[in-house]
Amino acid sequence: MRHASRSVFVLRLFITAALFCASAFRLGALTTVTNLFSVNLAIPDGSLSGISDTRTVSLPDYTSITNLQVRLAISGGFNGDFYAYLTHGAGFSVLLNRPGRTVANPIGYGDSGLDVTFVNQPTNDVHRYGDFVMPSGPLTGAWSPDGRAVHPALVLDTDPRTALLNSFSGLDPNGDWTLFVADVDSGAQGTWLTWGIELTVVPEPGSLALFLTGGMAVILVSNARRRRSNLNENVIFLCKCPHYLNFSGREPARPFRTS
């Protein structure tokens, strides 16, 4: 029983160490990759059909997204007309949905152009950027996405924000990423200049933890066998048996002691 309790304790210790090592490896393996894509296309004015741009990300050593930022640059146009969303796998985020559109201001903000970064941390809502800044040129800075998954003809500042960037957390970064941009109201045409994604990714931690735990289990079994071998030899020593045999009927590995 004593040996069994000790074995359980040692096993727990090894598993804890393995999980700790896996966590440390995971933290140490965080990698940030930035991609910036040129588009340079005029956005059809007053059309919901918009334009989209799809890019393929290949990060074969990484299987999980822990953070995502998105850049978008549009020159000209009327900011209150723009609608934009990002998709990748099961991820979906509404980046812009007619900034500034409210019951009192159904056409949204009249500023022209933007070069912004959408982040996955709590910060100011881009739909209400006029509460925080009065751009003298294109809107700049880091903003929380609009997130309102509502038809752009109906969206209001009071709608719930359900489509933020957190829907990409934990997804595999590999594969196609698509950004869609539309100018949904007539007058003042914009040009979509660039967009980009900054991915913070990690390798799959499960296989590493399994490897470490398996390695620890092998060490544990080896230690248990060594303890059993020592026990047999000690029994032979205490018996002072005239025969060179232990309990298994085999000759001991080292010379027999008689005193």
List residues bridging with 65 in a β-sheet.
201
Nearer of residues 80 and 173 to Ca ion, judged by Cβ: 80
- Is residue 45 at the binding interface for Ca ion, with CB under 5 A as the rule? yes
Contact range with Ca ion by CB under 5 A, out of 10-18, 27-35, 38-46, 48-56: 38-46
Find the shortest distance in angstroms from Cβ 190 to Ca ion: 7
Nearer of residues 110 and 175 to Ca ion, judged by Cβ: 110
- Is residue 81 at the binding interface for Ca ion, with CB under 5 A as the rule? yes
Find the shortest distance in angstroms from Cβ 80 to Ca ion: 9
Sites for Ca ion among residues 170-189 (CB under 5 A): 183, 188
3-state SS of 102-119 is: CCCCCCCCCCCCEEEEEC
- Is residue 111 at the binding interface for Ca ion, with CB under 5 A as the rule? no
Find the shortest distance in angstroms from Cβ 45 to Ca ion: 5
The CB-nearest residue to Ca ion is 81
Site string for Ca ion, 132-171 (x = CB under 5 A): ----------------------------------------
Sites for Ca ion among residues 186-245 (CB under 5 A): 188
Closest CA to 54 of 143, 181, 142: 181
Kindly state the number of chain residues that form the binding site for Ca ion, as judged by CB under 5 A: 4
- Is residue 112 at the binding interface for Ca ion, with CB under 5 A as the rule? no
Nearer of residues 48 and 231 to Ca ion, judged by Cβ: 48
Nearer of residues 180 and 237 to Ca ion, judged by Cβ: 180
Distance CA 86, CA 94 (A): 7
Residues contributing to the site for Ca ion (CB under 5 A): 45, 81, 183, 188
